[in-house]
Structure 1
Amino acid sequence: MAKLHTLIQDHGRQAVLDFDLDFDRKVVDAAAGYLATDSVDVGFLFSGWAYTPLPHRRLADDETWSVRTDHASIVIQPGIYVPDEGKHVSVGVPYGSRARLILLYLQTQAMKNKSREVELGACLTSWMQKMNISKGGKSYADVREQADRIARCRLSFQFKQGSMSGLINQHILDQAVFTHDPESPNTRFAETVTLSEGYYQQLKKHPIPVEDAAIRQISNNSMAIDVYIWLAYRLHALNQPTKITWKSLHLQFGSGYGRLDNFKLRFKESLALALAVYPDASISDEQFGIVLNPSRPPIAFKAK
């Protein structure tokens, strides 16, 4: 992938496309967009998301989500909404690229402002537009729905390290203030939220710094976001090349893909996009899976 970045810097995006090389257009566009950005804005995520991502697609509203890998596992229970009339209903677990972007926004604001309280509303709208998510229509309705799901869901993280394991049960948010559309009483808009104390403390202890410029270029691809976050967390901590099998990759990233061959195709596409916005990442593609090589982090950061 380093070859692609060099070609774009030397010849420009259009020339690289005209060369008819073996690079997908989306990958070239992502790399060119990333290289053209001067911004060095930094975002933050809790490291648990590096191993246990959200679902990519919508589940049944009352369905619980779980991912189990060699290093960690997560269970996400859908939250409950009680309407003014009628029985309570499940709102479903958060999913897709919009949910990931909202989580990134919440955690970034909390880290930068050193406060658990985060404003959504116009602030979130402005940030989502920065991430290439247009305001209005279905796109923004999706953002509001995912914010509601995040506000209500409950998490159980479990981590393994040698013979030791740990368990964290918590909500992402302790509080949320909603407004309602008078013409549609069941439509809820979270305006101000407060991260739970437990989640906030874990975020401060174990943050993953990422580049806004990188996330912006892959903002509509949930698996590419997951892969980028995973690489940002793992590569700089390695002391030697590390083999990752297709079985392990499937466990971590491929829930919802029953056939391994289908997952491989989607993962390789997502990996190419992630590498397009992480020029220093060194990855080898092998028949058994991939090899992670020690690499510089996308952002150098020391937690305080």
Structure 2
Amino acid sequence: MGTVHDILENQGKRGALEAGHAREVVEAAAAYMSDEENGLGFAYSGWAQCALPLKKLPPEARWEVATDRVRLVVEPGLRLATNEIDGPMEHVGVPYGAHARLILLYLQTEALRTGRREVELGTSLRNWLSRIGVSYGGTTGRLVRDQAERISRCRLTFHIQGTGSSSALVNQTIVDKALFIQGGERGAQGQLSLETAKLSEGFYEQLLKHPVPLEEAAIRALNNNPAALDCYIWLTYRLHVLRNDRLVTWSALKKQFGSSYRELFHFKPRFIQSLQLASAVYPGARIDVLEEGVVLKPSSSPVKKLVTSQ
């Protein structure tokens, strides 16, 4: 996969396509290489090991995924089904898809940038989304507002197994304070605009201790592909700290990334596509895809700037 960048530089997109690289991989690599911005984003390392669902689940369904060391449980929150304070409650569903991931990246990045748990949304979020190539408005605006509300109301647990002992974020919300502005139309569903959010103390503390730096150029190139975003975050977390080659079996990869797939043979080709896209925006990534699984090799840092934890 690394050769796609050399081919693009010397022969352009046509040469890369004629060399057999998939069009979406060529487009992602070209977008990344032509990006002159040097912005950084951040994510809590737990998201590099367990991620949100890719697609919408039933409103009342919880999401659960586990690897050898980390288990993530996300429970959907509740909201008033009507404007009556004593009216019935309804589940809003767990966050999912690309927009949920982008909102979370914004929240985490802004919290680290400002050193404050409280993050402004509204115009600031819209500007950030625009900067990473997401046009805010119409259907996209409604989707973003929906995911922001899901994030603000859900409850998550990261169970982390350490060496010889275990630690966990138990019953933590991502956000423990949010300001909603009621829209002009009547009815609660879909009319709330999230303007500010305050990260929960537990989640913020873990973010401070274990941030994963990401390139905005890479996020921008993958902004509509949640599976590739997950794979990119995973590679940035794993590769640059390796000292030796590490084989990750297909069964382990399916456990982490493919819990929604019934069979391994359904998962493998989709994951390889995600891996190719992630590698397209991480030129230094050194990986081999084998029959047994994926071999991760010691690689250079994916970011162009030196970043130190706060």
Matched residues in 1 for 2:11 and 2:129: separation? 31
Query: Structure 1 counterpart of 2:145, which letter?
Result: R
State how 1:164-183 maps to structure 2 within 5 Å.
164-169=165-170, 170-183=172-185
What is the TM-score of this pair, normalised by structure 2?
0.95
Matched residues in 2 for 1:156 and 1:35: separation? 37
Query: Structure 1 counterpart of 2:3, which letter?
Result: K
**Once the 2 structures are TM-superposed, how far is the Cα of residue 160 of structure 1 from its aligned partner?**
1.4
**Once the 2 structures are TM-superposed, how far is the Cα of residue 13 of structure 1 from its aligned partner?**
2.3
Q: Deviations over 1:44-103 (max 9, x none)?
A: 111110111000011111111100111100101111102323300111110001000000
**Once the 2 structures are TM-superposed, how far is the Cα of residue 211 of structure 1 from its aligned partner?**
0.3
Q: State the partner residue of 2:160.
A: 159
Matched, 1:261 2:265: yes
Matched, 1:197 2:201: yes
Matched residues in 1 for 2:32 and 2:13: separation? 11
Matched residues in 2 for 1:123 and 1:288: separation? 45
Matched residues in 2 for 1:281 and 1:130: separation? 25
Aligned residue pair count: 302
What is the TM-score of this pair, normalised by structure 1?
0.97
**CA-atom RMSD in angstroms:** 1.1
Q: State the partner residue of 2:3.
A: 3
Query: Structure 1 counterpart of 2:40, which letter?
Result: V
Query: Structure 2 counterpart of 1:115, which letter?
Result: R
Matched, 1:271 2:269: no
- Secondary structure of 1:66's aligned partner: strand
**Once the 2 structures are TM-superposed, how far is the Cα of residue 184 of structure 1 from its aligned partner?**
3.7
State how 1:175-254 maps to structure 2 within 5 Å.
175-186=177-188, 187-254=191-258
- Secondary structure of 1:12's aligned partner: helix
Matched, 1:84 2:83: yes
Range that drifts further, 95-104 or 131-140:
131-140
Unaligned runs of 5+ in 2: none
Q: State the partner residue of 1:68.
A: 66
Matched residues in 1 for 2:140 and 2:166: separation? 40
Query: Structure 1 counterpart of 2:297, which letter?
Result: N
Runs of 4+ in 1 over 6 A off after TM superposition: none
Query: Structure 2 counterpart of 1:147, which letter?
Result: A
Q: State the partner residue of 1:21.
A: 19
Q: Deviations over 1:169-216 (max 9, x none)?
A: 211111100011121431111001111111111101100000000011
Range that drifts further, 46-55 or 135-144:
135-144
Q: % of aligned pairs identical?
A: 45
Contact kept, 8 Å, 1:55 with 1:255, in 2: the verdict is: no
Matched residues in 1 for 2:257 and 2:43: separation? 17
Unaligned runs of 5+ in 1: none
Matched residues in 1 for 2:266 and 2:143: separation? 27
Q: Deviations over 1:104-146 (max 9, x none)?
A: 0000001011111111111111111222222222122111100
Q: State the partner residue of 1:109.
A: 110
Matched residues in 2 for 1:36 and 1:128: separation? 19
Q: State the partner residue of 1:138.
A: 139
Q: State the partner residue of 2:49.
A: 51
Matched residues in 2 for 1:66 and 1:261: separation? 22
Matched residues in 1 for 2:65 and 2:40: separation? 27
